[in-house]
A = this chain, B = another copy of it.
């Protein structure tokens, strides 16, 4: 029987390792601003729009609905985000950044940008572009074959 490849050589683990290595830079910084990585993602997206519904915010931040629902509760309690039911579609919840949320955003932004630039200069702009390109192509390739598989496993279950 063919032996399964070592886990360290697997694509998901390589990607996880790289992501952890990059987040190891951002997390301590966010910690000094009393934000989690995911909260910062939400604030950052909301900072660039008037308002956004939960579904689109979930897509933009790569968070799942249930996580977002919980997070928004605490973000609202902490006064960083406002919620409002969409008057045009009562199923939807519209979210927006409060002024305290915007203040926080503006406090974190320079620190965040500084880390990006540090990473770019450590890794090199050319390599970074090349990496982005490959990751984007990988996504395209993976998403093409995804649907059939999902259906296949759904059937066999």
Contacts and interface: CB of A to CB of B under 8 A. Distances in A.
Given A135-B18, A141-B123, A153 B32 contact: yes
Contact of A32 (B14, B112, B131, B156): B156
A136 to B, nearest CB: 8
Contacts of A112: 4
B153 A31 contact: yes
Q: How many copies does the complex hold?
A: 2
Interface stretch (A74-82, A83-91, A92-100, A143-151): A143-151
Contacts of A17: 62, 135, 139
Nearest to A4: B109
Given A11-B22, A15-B135, A131-B131, 7 more contacts: A11-B131, A15-B22, A18-B135, A18-B142, A22-B138, A127-B134, A127-B137
Interface of A: 1-2, 4-26, 28-29, 31-32, 37, 41, 44-45, 48, 60-62, 106, 109-110, 112-113, 116, 118-119, 122-124, 127-128, 130-132, 134-139, 141-146, 149-150, 153-154, 156-157
